[in-house]
Amino acid sequence: MAVRNTLWQTVYIISIIFLSLLPFIGWATPVLAILIECYYYGFSMLDYSCERNKLSAAKSIDFIGQHKGLAIGNGIIFYMMHCIIIVGWIFAPAYAVIAATISMHEIKEKQSFA
């Protein structure tokens, strides 16, 4: 899963680099690059919860694909926590995994009642 995500992330980032060479469109590329980075950070954190719930790789990809906002949101907080020197570096990974686990639990509860 990590190799797959690394390859896709590399493809997207290289595409963004080429896109950044275009006038006016290039101004939006830093934001787009950060959102892609945050998506893949969040993806990896949510994947831990998917593994814990014994989802296959295909089901995990499908689940996270359906909840892109959750992955991006989790990744943004993970990314921003790294701005806090030392303390953020220590707590960001643990916080992101705990937040993904709680989010996954809430989604499973909502789906079981639906």
**Residue at 19: amino acid letter:** L
pLDDT at 114: 53
Q: Does residue 113 register a pLDDT over 70?
A: no
Exposed, middle or buried: residue 114 (CB in 10 Å: 0-12, 13-18, 19+)? exposed
Residue 78: C-alpha distances to residues 6, 27, 38, 82, 90 (Å)? 18, 24, 8, 7, 11
pLDDT at 70: 95
Extended beta strands in 2-105, E state: none
Give me the percent of the chain exceeding a pLDDT of 70: 98
Model confidence pLDDT, tens digit, residues 46-73: 999 999 889 899 999 999 999 999 999 9
Q: Does residue 17 register a pLDDT over 90?
A: yes
Range 33-50 average pLDDT: 94
